[in-house]
């Protein structure tokens, strides 16, 4: 089918287009002297040979004849819709009173390699002149469609014979997502409340979700005194915000070196600056394409997943973000830059021991409840084990053949978490005669309370008490140059796949459970709710949250 036919069918079929299609097909109305004079539509296309075109055409004065399209449409013969490159040349054509402007460019080999794994948006017209829209299926409820509907140039037109055009360059934003942390001791309890009020942290049965905030109030009240002691021991607050800001600045510089000028935003999940604050600033800056980069190497429902859920909730309510091309880098532990950066740090710290070859490499990762993995399908454990295998493979390629083990830290409450537990493994290693240990905080890229207090103080003391004589700890990646440079590469590579953010139903995971499992959860949830409702502390907490 010729491009003119496809374009005209798009125009005729517009009332039947879904909202998902609107960012791909832009319909414009042209004005002269304050009056509407004509309508136009924007057609985006890319050929198999790498040439890309953006077309805007006026609606012809006469309808198309059955013999073929009118040349007055101003549409060049164009291939199917697809991805657009960032470079090109601007052309304008005119046929009498009807004008058409196109943006044509060629992709580089590098761009083509980036596009290679991306399935383009496909539009096709069938014999009945109805428009069909096909989008690749999502791998899961958090993944994005692998198509791109955005372009780096927007061309505006008037209705005069001599077209006046202006070009608006795209503004790229990068949103860094992180946990957040209290900056003072007074912030500790409200920070803990925000943490435990997150339904991705404490997953209550649907029937009892009204208890989420009272339960969070109760837990944060009980845990605040001990947590304050921990934060007091590392200076009175978390350094996470300061380090994340430094990483944001370093990332901006690294992107500029790669010829990409981007605005960097920091959004914390449980403390200032909250993700919502970053979102507001992105809107004020009128960002046209966004890359979301969680600062968690491995994906988990409770970390990256929780922050992405916040974005999805915003998208559902905000027309600006529902049409904004967004690319989310859900996990990046498998990237060569990350693996090599971790290996560099491990190799450096091993050299500080008198007998480096005798040191056991002890990977300690933040744990998650076992039900997240077994019931909700959280890929965290699989990704963590894969991550350790990649790092050890890199070390072996350097001739480092030390033994290693993996354990999980920071468990909370009576429920079962991923095993083995860090504290239990340390005792076992001491009993087995291990004398030298190098702790590696593999799930953290910034120093915070889990590294500075839990590992450096609690676990070090436990290890020495258990018979381990020599203790070392690999620092978090922070602003390591190779690490930051690789994050910048990840951002650049993610840009071509930016598209409208996919949303999920809030109860997708619950609905996937079988009936027996669901009823079991309901039974024990009912018992738990009954006990909690009898607790005077919970009643008090419930009242305080309602007031």
- Residues 6 or more apart whose Cβ sits within 8 Å of residue 38: 29, 30, 58, 59, 159
Q: Is the pLDDT of residue 305 over 60?
A: yes
- For residue range 518-543, what is the model confidence (pLDDT) as tens digits? 555 555 555 555 554 445 555 455 55
Considering the domain 174-332+481-510 in this protein, what is its CATH number? 3.40.50.1400
Q: Is the pLDDT of residue 504 over 60?
A: no
Q: pLDDT at position 413, please?
A: 77
Q: How far apart are CA 12 and CA 28, in angstroms?
A: 14
Cα-only R_g, the chain: 28
- For residue range 21-67, what is the model confidence (pLDDT) as tens digits? 333 333 333 333 333 333 343 334 343 344 333 344 444 444 444 44
Q: pLDDT at position 526, please?
A: 53
Q: Kindly state the average pLDDT of the residues 331-349.
A: 98
| Residue whose token pair is 């790498």 | 50
Q: How confident is the model at residue 499 (pLDDT cuts 50, 70, 90)?
A: confident
Q: pLDDT at position 315, please?
A: 78
Q: pLDDT at position 377, please?
A: 96
Q: pLDDT at position 544, please?
A: 58
- For residue range 400-450, what is the model confidence (pLDDT) as tens digits? 999 999 999 999 877 899 999 999 999 999 999 999 999 999 999 999 999
Instruction: Let me know if 15 is exposed, middle or buried by CB neighbors in 10 A (0-12, 13-18, 19+).
Output: exposed
Kindly state the percentage of the chain with pLDDT values over 70.
Answer: 61
Kindly state the percentage of the chain with pLDDT values over 90.
Answer: 54
Q: pLDDT at position 202, please?
A: 86
The helix or strand, by DSSP H or E, that contains position 285, with its residue range, turns out to be none
Q: pLDDT at position 514, please?
A: 56
Q: Is the pLDDT of residue 75 over 90?
A: no
- For residue range 235-253, what is the model confidence (pLDDT) as tens digits? 999 999 999 999 999 999 9
Q: Kindly state the average pLDDT of the residues 280-306.
A: 96
Q: pLDDT at position 368, please?
A: 95
Q: Is the pLDDT of residue 338 over 90?
A: yes
Q: Is the pLDDT of residue 112 over 50?
A: no
HEC string for 422-473: HHHHHHHHHHCCCCEEEEEECCCCCCCHHHHHHHHHHHHHHHHHCCCCEEEE
* 420 upstream amide cis, omega within 30 of 0: yes
Q: pLDDT at position 273, please?
A: 97
Three-state SS for 49? coil
| Residue whose token pair is 């990977």 | 363
Q: pLDDT at position 307, please?
A: 94
Q: How far apart are CA 541 and CA 547, in angstroms?
A: 10
Q: How confident is the model at residue 545 (pLDDT cuts 50, 70, 90)?
A: low
Q: How confident is the model at residue 200 (pLDDT cuts 50, 70, 90)?
A: confident
How does the average pLDDT of the chain come out, rounded? Answer: 73
**Torsion sign, CA atoms 283, 285, 289, 291:** negative
Domain boundaries, the chain: 3-169, 174-332+481-510, 336-473
Q: How far apart are CA 1 and CA 409, in angstroms?
A: 60
The domain 336-473 is classified under which CATH number: 3.40.50.1400, 3.30.930.10, 3.10.580.10, 3.30.70.270? 3.40.50.1400
Q: pLDDT at position 412, please?
A: 82
* 273 upstream amide cis, omega within 30 of 0: yes
First-residue to last-residue Cα distance in the chain: 65
**Least confident stretch, 69-78, 128-137, 158-167, 267-276:** 128-137
Largest separation between any pair of C-alpha atoms in the chain: 90
Q: Kindly state the average pLDDT of the residues 353-365.
A: 98
Q: Is the pLDDT of residue 92 over 60?
A: no
């Amino acid at each position: 089918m010729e491009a003119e036919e496809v374009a005209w069918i798009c125009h005729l079929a517009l009332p039947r287009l879904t909202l998902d299609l609107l960012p791909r097909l832009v319909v414009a109305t042209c004005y002269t002297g304050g009056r509407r004079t004509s309508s136009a539509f924007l057609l985006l296309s890319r050929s198999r040979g790498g040439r890309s075109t953006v077309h805007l055409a006026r609606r012809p004065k006469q309808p198309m004849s059955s013999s073929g399209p009118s040349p007055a449409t101003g549409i060049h013969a164009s291939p199917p819709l697809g991805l657009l490159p960032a470079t090109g040349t601007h052309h304008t054509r005119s046929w009498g009173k009807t004008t058409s402007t196109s943006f044509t460019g060629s992709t580089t080999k590098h761009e083509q390699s980036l596009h290679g794994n991306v399935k383009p948006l496909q539009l096709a017209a069938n014999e009945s002149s109805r428009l069909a829209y096909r989008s690749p299926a999502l791998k899961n409820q958090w993944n994005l469609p692998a198509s791109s509907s955005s372009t780096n140039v927007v061309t505006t037109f008037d209705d005069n014979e001599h077209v006046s055009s202006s070009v608006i360059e795209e503004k790229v934003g990068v949103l860094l997502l992180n946990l957040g942390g209290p900056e003072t001791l007074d912030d500790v309890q409200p920070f803990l409340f925000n943490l435990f009020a997150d339904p991705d942290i404490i997953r209550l049965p649907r029937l009892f979700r009204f208890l989420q905030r009272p339960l969070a109030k109760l837990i944060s009240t009980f845990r605040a005194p001990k947590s304050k002691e921990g934060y007091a021991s590392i200076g009175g607050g978390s350094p996470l915000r300061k380090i994340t800001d430094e990483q944001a600045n370093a990332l901006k510089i690294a992107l500029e070196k790669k010829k990409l000028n981007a605005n960097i935003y920091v959004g914390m999940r449980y403390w200032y600056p909250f993700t919502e604050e970053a979102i507001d600033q992105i809107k004020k800056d009128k960002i046209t394409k966004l890359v979301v980069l969680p600062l968690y190497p491995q994906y988990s429902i409770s970390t990256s997943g929780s922050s992405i859920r916040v974005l999805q909730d915003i998208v559902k309510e905000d027309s600006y973000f529902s049409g904004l091309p967004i690319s989310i880098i859900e996990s990046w532990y498998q990237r060569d830059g990350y693996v090599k950066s971790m290996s560099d740090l491990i190799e450096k710290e091993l050299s500080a021991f008198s007998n480096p070859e005798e040191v056991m490499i002890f990977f300690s990762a933040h744990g998650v409840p076992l039900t997240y993995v077994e019931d909700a399908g959280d890929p965290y454990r699989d990704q963590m084990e894969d991550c350790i295998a990649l790092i050890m493979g890199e070390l072996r390629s350097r001739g480092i053949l030390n033994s290693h083990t993996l354990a999980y830290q920071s468990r909370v409450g009576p429920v079962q978490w991923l095993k083995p537990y860090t504290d239990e493994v340390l005792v076992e290693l001491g009993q087995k005669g291990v004398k030298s240990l190098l702790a590696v905080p593999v799930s953290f890229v910034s120093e915070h309370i889990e590294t500075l207090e839990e590992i450096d103080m609690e676990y070090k003391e436990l290890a020495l008490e258990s018979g381990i004589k020599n203790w070392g700890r690999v620092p978090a990646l922070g602003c390591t140059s190779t690490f930051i440079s690789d994050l910048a590469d990840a951002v650049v590579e993610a840009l071509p796949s930016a598209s409208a953010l996919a949303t999920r139903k809030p109860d997708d995971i619950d609905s996937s459970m079988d009936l027996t499992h669901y009823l079991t959860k309901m039974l024990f949830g009912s018992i738990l709710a009954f006990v909690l409702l009898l607790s005077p502390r919970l009643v008090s907490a419930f009242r305080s949250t309602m007031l």
